[in-house]
Structure 1
Amino acid sequence: MKLTGKLLKTSAVAAALALSLAACGNGGASSSGTPTEALKGADQQSTDKYTTASVTPLDKIEKDKLGLLTPGTLTVGTLSDAPPSIFIDKSGNFTGFDNELLRAMGDKLGLKVQFASTKFQSLLAQVKNKQFDVGSSSISTTDARRKTVSFTNGYDFGFMALVAKNDSKVQSIADLKSGVRVGVVQGTVQDDMVTNQLGLDPVRYPDYNTAYANVKSGQIDAWLAPSQQAEGQIKPSDGTKIWEKKVATQNFAAYAVAQDNQALTDALNSALDAVIADGTWTKLVKQWFPERKTDAERMPDGWKPGSKAVKVPAGN
């Protein structure tokens, strides 16, 4: 992505902060780094307290006060390699559940949505320093990350998946022990789980494609990943499979916004409630996650998207 003007001024700061946030490497694997403790506070009570009771009516949103980099346009940092949530399709268009949902939200606000590709380990710092208005990357909301950015209300939950070869002896998260080379994408909650909960030193990669390529080639024994991204990577001829999936509603996914731009966070929350209420959220979940066939599968364990006030139309 080409940076000009204000973006150039913040790029160096963003890059430095990204290193401290995510223990980054430079395009390859890294087996060392400081854990970010992103899972701290990751329980239903902690996350529910951040969900707003209601939202501002759409007709009360003042578009000229949203602090956008370009008036009338949401400039969004996202990933290019994490289907079905966030990726670039064969025609070169940014798409996926997260991004199509954000486009629908932009329509509600009368805003154009412009995407730019970045790496996950840099994204929060780039949002913080206003290189992007919004970060869209199935970002798990955690107490540690809230020290860097603000988040909208939740729009999705996730599964954690263990990926390994079909003949692997590593077949569950419980098998991740000393001596097992497990890969993660830098700065993700999977990185923190392996580092902080399991007490292991994972092999950290800059993106999902690289992590998966290394489990396919046998450079690592397993990859702990968001299950949506794992499912988007695996092909029938790859000789790999998802051995275990764990639901994770506690760390709901949300869009990231700079902490000093409450007006934009409020506007996005209003738009999110609007696309939930009119059935767009349910339609997109069915389109991008066809395995979630019922309302219970789309909203497990009592979780639901948006504010506490919005009602999700029945989708069965």
Structure 2
Amino acid sequence: MKIKALKWLSAVPVAAALVVSLAACGGGAASTGSSSPTNALEGSDQQTLDKYTTADVTALDKIDKSKLGLITDGTIRVGTLSDAKPNIYLDSATGEFTGYDNELLKAVAAKLGLKVEFVSTEFSALLAQVKTKQFDVGSSNISTTDARRENVAFTNGYDFGYLAVVAKTDGKAKTFADLKEGVRIGVVQGTVQDDYVTNTLKLEPVRFPDYNTVYANVKNGQIDAWVAPTQQATGQVKEGDGTAITDKIVASQNFAAWAVNKSNQPLVDALNAGLDAVIADGTWTKLTVKWLDRPTADLQLPGGWKPGSKAVKVAQ
């Protein structure tokens, strides 16, 4: 399936982008202002999220594709990012969107007999674009939280996350304990990491529109540390950059899922059915090992976490 990037969404107004942002702020390359940040991590513990995981799913042969409310019949139009390796990114060599989340979504779509069309956007705009039906699905390793559920629906979970500190190897801030007043902390605007720094650490981060930009500011010393999703940090940090992933913690209490318009339950049900199918046949495990470097069950399923519905068994 050869999917090319489209560019027209880069001009989405900031005001619309911030409708579902976790911490409202101005646009631009970086922003330090914040108005009444919300606690998007509220309701993100595993016990609370468990109530959103379905007991089972609809059988694949019972899915009515004519009822999925797709923008284009037979094709799932997906908003995704271009710079968040290894989960969601644009391969510069092929011009195709790939990464763990997107390859998994392609496998799910194949189970449903659907095509996938990817479109590039920024994370701060993505959930608003799903809400306003510019996309059928948002794919960006999105942590599901109560605040986000007010604006979009989510599938069952397919991944969990780690939080990481990325810093200069000779810098002053290298651990989560070092993140205090006076430390310039970078985050990507509207992410759970933004909320973590703002509402858990009670600090004001420097907000950036994308992963490439925040990482560039770590390298050039404009910020002291980047609080990042570990997987995206791994995709950014290169030997010789003078930077490193200096600390990380497991965050399995926030499962990641695909976002869907709240009015489109048939599409949520279909994606859940496809997800269970790729978990049961071993595709989920294969992609998790390949893209996320988690070769063992302990790494894939920490603390009792598992993907998909409550009924599906994870093939190893």
Structures share a fold, TM > 0.5?
Answer: yes
- Give the structure 1 partner of residue 20 of structure 2: 21
The answer (yes or no) to whether the contact 1:25–1:205 under 8 Å persists in 2 is no
Same amino acid, percent of matched pairs: 67
2:106 aligned partner, one-letter code? R
Match of residue 289 from structure 1: 292
- Cα shift readout 1:24-46 (whole Å, capped 9, x = no counterpart): 43331001123232111121111
Ranges of 4+ aligned residues in structure 1 off by more than 4 Å:
none
Task: Look up the SS of the partner of 1:286 in the other structure.
Answer: helix
Structure 2 Cα separation of the partners of residues 2 and 226 of structure 1: 25
Task: Output one character per residue of 1:117-174: Cα deviation in whole Å (capped at 9) or x when no partner.
Answer: 0000000000000000000000000000000100000000110000000011211111
CA distance in structure 1 between the aligned counterparts of 2:180 and 2:62, rounded to whole angstroms: 53
Indicate whether 1:191 and 2:190 are aligned.
Answer: no
CA RMSD of aligned residues (A): 1.3
Partner residue of 1:150? 153
Q: Where does residue 306 of structure 1 map in the other structure?
A: 308
Among candidates 223, 231, 234, match of residue 220 of structure 1: 223
**Equivalent in 116, 123, 134 of residue 131 of structure 1:** 134
Amino acid at match of 2:16: L
2:254 aligns with one of 248, 251, 255: 251
TM-score, length-scaled by structure 1? 0.94
Distance in 1 separating the partners of 2:179 and 2:54: 37
2 CA distance for matches of 1:211 and 1:249?
24
Normalising by structure 2, we get a TM-score of 0.94
| Distance in 2 of aligned mates of 1:55 and 1:229 | 31
Per-residue CA distance 1:262-295 (angstroms, 9 max, x = gap): 00000000000000000000000111012x1210
Partner of 1:61: 63
Separation in 2, partners of 1:41, 1:17: 25
Contact 2:26 2:33 in 1 (8 A): no
- 1:213-247 CA-partner distances (Å, limit 9, x unpaired): 00100000000000000000000010000111110
User: 5 Å matches for 1:1-316?
Assistant: 1=6, 15-22=14-21, 23-34=24-35, 35-89=37-91, 90-290=93-293, 292-314=294-316
Cα 1:258–1:184 change in 2 (3 A) is: same
Q: Secondary structure at the match of 1:236?
A: coil
One-letter amino acid of the structure 2 residue matched with residue 71 of structure 1? D
Measure, in 2, the Cα distance between the counterparts of 1:128 and 1:24: 20
Shift of 1:16: 2.7
Q: Give the Cα–Cα distance (whole angstroms) in 1 for the partners of residues 83 and 255 of structure 2.
A: 20
Aligned residues of 2:71 and 2:136 also touching (Cα < 8 A): yes
Amino acid at match of 1:209: N
- The answer as to whether partners of 1:25 and 1:206 remain within 8 angstroms in 2 is no
For 2:165, the aligned partner's letter is L
SS of residue paired to 1:272? helix
Secondary structure at the residue paired with 1:75? strand
Decide which moves more: 84-93 or 19-28: 19-28
Contact kept, 8 Å, 2:7 with 2:120, in 1: the verdict is: no
